[in-house]
A and B are shown apart, each in its own frame.
Chain A
């Protein structure tokens, strides 16, 4: 079975229609936990992108060799391997960013989104399609994280990417740890509202 979507559609699908954070509501832990700045979101996004693309490609290459009964353990092993690799690389070359991310890099293993994409897509499709799907999902996660980080950083610290843009701190509340819940909830509701408006306008 091959997908009938073009590569571009595969990428945009991951970013918009099936955005891991706002649409599929998967991998919420980092979205709440460390989305305090745009940079954090970007770094974790890169890590997830790497793991997703490499795992997808690995599985797509070896899909005929994987025994159906040990499918899930093999997927887990693949993901865990790539997570270990990115974990070591980040710890070696970007120690400061790594320290901020803390335990969340290692916990990419337990992200439902990656296993789900392997099960639903890479296990059936060609290597190229899986590659682009992985890129789309990774970017979707990254953009979701960066959007959250943008809102929280701007409202909480008055900065974007560390540069002072507002010159004052509008709502310190948003940078505090628990505000992640509020921020995700409010943004999700906001996107739902926009979508409902858009649909109604289309129908009329």
Chain B
């Protein structure tokens, strides 16, 4: 129970940290900007502007941040009646994944601002993606040994899931620091595997020692799962993925949380089914592991339905 409370507190703190950069965006004249439909950018102003200024397509110049020489043609601008909201319509659909830079002339000094998808949404997108869309067990097929070993009972599943998530987040953060500040600057990328597996072992050992001293009751409940964490390839896959994708700190935390949470979800779902399956009349040759594989296959099939899901 305590662990859950702790995890929750950590989660809340992480969320608050993430909100700060989102609030820091604030211009003078421009009070808000976002993507509308797939060929629209919606700009809101802090004061009403005349249609001759804000309603003229020629006053705007828009380009993707990576391609400053290619101007995107603004087909028309629709200014709302109060003069505070302008909707820029483009001839072709925008690539909303990329950051767009908009310059606006006419209202005194030229205003330049960036339009991108909300960063918080992007981070949550990473979390949801690791949790459901790219669930490590059902769509990336990692960590299966431990998955089949500890999904027989619901209690085991919960214990393993929680232990795994905590170790996952801790070791991912350490791996991120090592990767960003040691491996990358010194061009030691070929040592990735050794360093990451070493860090995982170290985290497990540290959690083991600390838990044993600080909370023996908790250690009795979760200690047995700690050994199994090392044998789980998800814990190694996450550092490798974050090194590959050059994730920053927040993205790393989100990926690790998603991976851990996804593993826990998969374990819980699977154990619920397997507890009931013991009562079912399964052909003798398929009892135990073979039928568990087939059930996992059905879960994987169901999880395929999440692919293409795009909330943020």
Q: Does B218 contact A (CB under 8 A)?
A: no
- Within the complex, the shortest CB–CB distance from A30 to chain B, in Å, comes to 8
Residues of A near B286 (CB, < 8 A) are: 185, 189, 192
B294 contacts A28, C-beta separation under 8 Å: no
Query: Could you give, for residues 16-52 of chain A, a 1 whenever the CB lies within 8 Å of some chain B CB and a 0 otherwise?
Result: 0000000001111100110000000000000000000
Rounded to whole Å, the gap between the CB of A174 and the closest CB of chain B is: 11
Interface string of A84-112 (1 = CB under 8 A from B): 10011000000000000001001101111
Nearest-Cβ distance from residue A48 to partner chain B, whole angstroms:
13
Cβ of A189 and Cβ of B297 under 8 Å apart?
Answer: no
Partner of A190, one of B143, B191, B285: B285
Our count of residue pairs bridging A and B at CB distance below 8 angstroms stands at 113
Partner of A107, one of B201, B236, B289, B297: B236
State which of B145, B292, B293 has its C-beta within 8 Å of the C-beta of A112. B145
Q: Quick check: B236 and A106 within 8 Å, CB to CB?
A: yes
Q: Complex formed: what's the CA distance from A84 to B196 in Å?
A: 12
Contact assessment for A178 and B300 in the assembled complex, using a CB-CB cutoff below 8 Å: yes
Q: Which of A76, A87, A189 touches B283 (beta carbons < 8 Å)?
A: A189
Q: Is A188 an interface residue (CB 8 A)?
A: yes
- A189 CB contacts on chain B under 8 angstroms: 283, 285-286, 290-291
Complex contact B231–A112 (CB within 8 A): yes
Task: Write the nearest CB–CB distance from B257 to chain A, whole angstroms.
Answer: 20
How many Å lie between the Cα of A178 and that of B144 in the bound state? 13
Q: Please, how many residues of chain B have a CB less than 8 angstroms from a CB on the other chain? A: 42
A185:B291 contact, CB within 8 angstroms:
yes
Residues on B with beta carbons closer than 8 Å to the beta carbon of A182: 293-294, 297
Q: Please list the residues of chain B having a beta carbon within 8 angstroms of any beta carbon in chain A.
A: 138-145, 148, 190-194, 197-198, 201, 230-233, 235-237, 240-241, 283-286, 289-294, 296-297, 300-301, 303-304
12 contacts between A and B (CB under 8 A): A26-B145, A27-B145, A28-B145, A73-B201, A84-B191, A84-B193, A103-B237, A181-B293, A182-B294, A189-B285, A189-B286, A192-B286
Known: A80-B194, A177-B141. 5 other contacts (CB 8 A): A33-B142, A177-B300, A178-B304, A185-B296, A189-B290
